[in-house]
Structure 1
């Protein structure tokens, strides 16, 4: 799949995971309440709002995805109601959370879920089961494990309906099925090695880069996913580490090739032609004193042309996409 569905939070974090994810997948979807879709500039944090405005992230209202929202989530309520022992433990944890509202521990913590993320009947049922209560505004406090299960359940259904892979930046088993957790953790390990990246990045440059190199991204995705889905190559083994090492080496070779001095002869001839043309124009406009007085002007053109000519290097391994990231974005 080329698209993913981020959960369990509304705002996507501003970190290196998000940058890698934006560069690897075509689009990120997020589960958001109707209120955020109506007034996005007032609802999202500044980073999330910029991602939405640039169409790098697509807000998805789960109520609109399902024709019968309550009927879809009803099996979830039925399941937790039938598991009596687990239900009693969850009810006990939720009661204790009211008595320890100032204690910041996982044991007594509750999760906040926006009322518009689900049909009202879901919260009504959870309140009756002693697992949720209405807070101020449009938010509910929900027993933590119940909230995790509800979000995972919903993300799975929304992902299937919208053809997206449910994922999150929090690599914890409780957010994934056991099979999906294995693959996602494997995928994250590969991408962390191939796309080490700082948190700060120009999103406009990132968007333009993806639009200009979609075919290269497809080649990279094919390469990575073959490794991810190969159950014979298990994460942490020597074979897995050797595969990653080979990819990193190939990426490094391409990056070096894009910078090697042998390109100079080809580029320098082109640069001279351009410089001559520009010099003629500048002289005719009496600008030569200013233009050619700039230190390193010829070197600047030479460097710019090296960047552009880097794209002509032939590669079918998928690593060219990563090499160009190093060349143009980092």
Structure 2
């Protein structure tokens, strides 16, 4: 899938994981309370606000997506009630955390916005002793219950909207062994191929992705072939060689984009233009023009090195990253 749904938090972190994810996937969404749509400046963190404004992250209001929020929530309440021993343990954790007594470092609250679910589910959680109202539109929920609840919501919404639920902190209890292995391989490859830029221009990233969507597909296809190859194991020498091979190809393309490889084209074009101009100029003017010509050709050459970079042929899928280095990271 090319579309991601980020969870369990509202704001994506300003980290290398986010930048790589933005460059790798077509679309990223986040589950957002309704009030954030009306007052984004007051609610979002600065980086997330910029992501939303540049349309790199698409906010999703779960109340609009779920036609019957409470009906959807009922199976989750039954899941909590089914194991009485586990429920008692969660309730104990919640009490310990709220009062800040024994093991306060292990048990703490996770805050969930009321708009993320129908209000009835919070009433039920309160009755189970696992939640309480906290500061207006927020509820404090026992940590494990909150994690399960957000994972539950993200799974339902992502399935309905045909998205892949993802997070910057994969945990075994939320994902299958296969998903975790594939994600680690993918992140290892991307972290080696896409260094974190010193400065992040989100609008530039947005324009770059729109322009080079076909190259992104080719790049992603190349990476996913490695990720899905069960015989290629993360950390092995063969796996490292595959990454090194891709890195070398990317560097070769980057170097070619900066080479003076189009001199003949440039000189042919420029001399043709100069020849036409010379036919219209006096000898005095032409002499002046010839004196300027070397600098003029150099200027045209420098400009075309920038504009002609996309013309390089590539079958490795690394052209997208070579252009990232040239357009985004330079």
TM-score of the pair, normalised by structure 1 = 0.87
The whole-number CA distance in structure 2 between the counterparts of 1:137 and 1:184 is 37
| 2:284 corresponding residue in structure 1 | none
> Is contact 2:98–2:108 with CA below 8 Å preserved after alignment?
no
| 2:155 corresponding residue in structure 1 | 156
More off after superposition, 114-123 vs 255-264: 255-264
The whole-number CA distance in structure 2 between the counterparts of 1:103 and 1:273 is 81
More off after superposition, 78-87 vs 165-174: 165-174
- Asked if 1:185 is matched to 2:184, the reply is yes
Structure with higher Rg: it is: 2
> Is contact 1:307–1:328 with CA below 8 Å preserved after alignment?
no
Structure 1 position 271, deviation (Å): 5.7
1:102–1:79 Cα change, 3 Å: closer
| 1:169 corresponding residue in structure 2 | 168
SS in structure 2 at match of 1:141? strand
1:166-199 deviation digits (Å, cap 9, x = unpaired): 1112233345343322222221111111111225
Structure 1 position 46, deviation (Å): 2.1
| 1:305 corresponding residue in structure 2 | 304
The whole-number CA distance in structure 2 between the counterparts of 1:182 and 1:278 is 64
1:178-225 deviation digits (Å, cap 9, x = unpaired): 332222222111111111122521112111111111100010111111
TM-score of the pair, normalised by structure 2 = 0.87
Structure 1 position 273, deviation (Å): 6.4
Structure 1 position 8, deviation (Å): 0.9
> Is contact 1:267–1:306 with CA below 8 Å preserved after alignment?
no
> Is contact 1:14–1:199 with CA below 8 Å preserved after alignment?
no
More off after superposition, 68-77 vs 208-217: 68-77
Aligned pairs for 1:1-80 (under 5 A) are 1-80=1-80
What is the count of residue pairs matched by the alignment?
317
SS in structure 2 at match of 1:142? strand
Over aligned residues, Cα RMSD in angstroms?
A: 2.7
> Is contact 1:110–1:142 with CA below 8 Å preserved after alignment?
yes
More off after superposition, 182-191 vs 300-309: 300-309
1:150–1:23 Cα change, 3 Å: same
Extract unaligned runs of 5+ from structure 1. Answer: 280-288
